[in-house]
């Protein structure tokens, strides 16, 4: 089977302050139309994923606009990002 080894994506989510975005691995991505609407960029293929929607580049502004603040704690960030993706329409 092609694709990444699960442990290679454990570093995500990762916040990049110099670009004001977050890289997040997910199994629950909204469809591409929703991603385009919110300027979320799929990057899965660049990380060796079979599905390009498994890794997403999410603008920090969207994260903050939806009421989330913590960008430092990996566990809180992961939960918040999954909530954000689930609620995008």
The answer to whether 35 and 41 have CB atoms below 8 angstroms apart is: yes
Q: What is the pTM of this model?
A: 0.86
| Residue with tokens 């629950």, as numbered in its chain | 28
- The pLDDT score that the predictor gives to residue 3 is 56
Q: What pLDDT is attached to residue 71?
A: 87
Which segments within the chain are labelled E, that is strand? 14-16, 21-25, 41-42, 55-59
Domain-by-domain residue ranges, the chain?
6-87
Do 48 and 8 contact (CB within 8 A), yes or no?
yes
More confident residue, 72 or 5: 72
Tens of pLDDT, residue by residue over 16-62, are: 877 899 999 999 999 999 999 999 999 999 988 999 999 999 999 99
């Amino acid at each position: 089977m092609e694709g990444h080894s699960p442990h290679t994506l454990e570093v995500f989510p990762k916040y990049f302050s110099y670009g004001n975005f977050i890289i997040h691995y997910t199994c629950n991505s909204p469809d591409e139309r929703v991603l385009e609407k919110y300027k979320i960029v799929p990057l899965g293929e660049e990380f060796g994923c079979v599905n390009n929607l498994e890794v997403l580049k999410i603008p920090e502004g969207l994260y903050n606009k939806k009421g989330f603040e913590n960008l430092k704690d990996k566990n809180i960030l992961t939960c918040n990002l999954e909530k954000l993706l689930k609620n995008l329409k």
